[in-house]
Structure 1
Amino acid sequence: MISVLLVEDQAMVRGALAALLALHPDLEIAGEAGSAEEALDLLAGRPVDVVLVDVQLPGMSGIDLVGRLAEAHPGARALVLTTFARPGYARRALEAGARGFLLKDAPADRLAVAIRRVHGGERVIDPELAVDAMTDGASPLTAREAEVLRAARAHGTVAEIAGALHLAPGTVRNHLSAAIGKVGGRTRAEAVRRADEQGWL
């Protein structure tokens, strides 16, 4: 029996995945979580074999959760399941320690097969995304530039971004300017959009 923890913030999607996987007698739903933090709490009480993780979660992202799993729960293999066909997401997830990366529009039977293969020690990656992730999925942004762009999504002014990140306004301007140039945007908003579309944030 392969124990699976579902980490998905949308309750309806989470329920559908649980119902789908329950049709397979060798798969057991060991728990369900709506956030990365909730998943870590559940794992502290019960180890599982495979953690099925959505990328976009409230609070800590699914990719950050994958990194935490690799450190704190190395026995739990992460399989990322997402709506977003972004090479940057695939590359970042694999670099963080994910054993698989699938899109939610994949055929239902493929998910159960992927869970079994990941549990068996294999890597399972959507074929098209695998090629794209290796060729153009690498982010040109430094960690700090990505952090500043993420903050720019929630804060309107340089002063607000600086306050949120505890940086000097001049430092924020420099990072924004560099990030805008690297992603080929003309404005901060366009840079955020382009970086998001590539999965770099």
Structure 2
Amino acid sequence: MRLLVADDQALVRGAIVTLLGLEPDLDVVAEAGRGDEVLEVLRRHEIDVALLDVEMPGLDGIEVCRAMTAAGVPTRALIVTTFGRPGFVRRALEAGAGGFVVKDTPASELADAVRRVHAGERVVDGALAAESLIEGPNPLTPREQDVLRAALTGAPVSVVAAAVHLSEGTVRNHLSSAMAKTGTATRAEAANHARDRGWL
């Protein structure tokens, strides 16, 4: 089974490559340190399963999954991340990922997850799956998500409006709606709340 490991932390990436290399049926044939490198690597190599981190420069792992699905890439994707947030699980599966596990998964379980995803099964960390079901779907609209992402920096409304190409009044409306949905009192709290749940 031919694998790609994409993670922006070289030490973590190297550890995953080494651990998977101990399995007789698994062969890591490519690595990437940025999300926007993955599709090009997949074009150059025949890969069965791509192991993707969520937070990478260029393109996050969930967006990479979405791009792979849109491009009709036959490679299956397994998200392997430090960020075990319920919202990430739902977004990753909706984007086409075959599985979602956290980085502290034991090596034998990670190898098993790779095999199961390759076989077409859905593999999700049990605790995260339960948390995701309890929490329910992301209540934010795509536009509210865009506005909150831009608001994470603490920038004033005028800067957020310019970043998302909306009027200041429209941005205020989206922020107000997002604050109501997240039960928060400020836009900074709403943005942090949404980020911590993996909704952004």
Do they fold alike, i.e. is TM over 0.5? yes
* Runs of 4+ with deviation above 6 angstroms: none
Provide the residue aligned with 1:47 in structure 2.
46
Matched, 1:189 2:188: yes
What are structure 2's unaligned runs of at least 5 residues? none
Indicate the larger mover: 79-88 or 127-136: 127-136
Q: Secondary structure at the match of 2:28?
A: strand
Say if 1:53 and 1:80, in contact at 8 Å, map to a contact too.
yes
Report the Cα offset of residue 73 of structure 1. 4.0
Report the Cα offset of residue 61 of structure 1. 1.4
**Normalized against structure 2, the TM-score is what?**
0.96
Provide the residue aligned with 1:93 in structure 2.
92
Provide the residue aligned with 1:127 in structure 2.
126
Provide the residue aligned with 1:59 in structure 2.
58
1:20-76 deviation per Cα after TM superposition (whole angstroms, max 9, x unaligned):
111112111121111111111111222311010111111321111111111214311
Distance 2:105 2:3 in 1: 19
Say if 2:5 and 2:50, in contact at 8 Å, map to a contact too.
yes
Query: How many correspondences in the alignment?
Result: 200
- When the two chains are superposed, the root-mean-square deviation of aligned CA atoms in Å is 1.2
The amino acid across from 1:158 in the alignment is: V
Q: Secondary structure at the match of 1:154?
A: coil
Distance 2:103 2:175 in 1: 33
Distance 1:170 1:197 in 2: 26
Provide the residue aligned with 1:114 in structure 2.
113
Q: 1:32 to 1:73 in 2, by over 3 A?
A: farther
Matched, 1:76 2:62: no
Distance 1:95 1:168 in 2: 30
What are structure 1's unaligned runs of at least 5 residues? none
Identity %: 51
Matched, 1:140 2:139: yes
Q: Secondary structure at the match of 2:179?
A: helix
1:119-150 deviation per Cα after TM superposition (whole angstroms, max 9, x unaligned):
01111111111122223141110000001100
Distance 1:90 1:141 in 2: 16
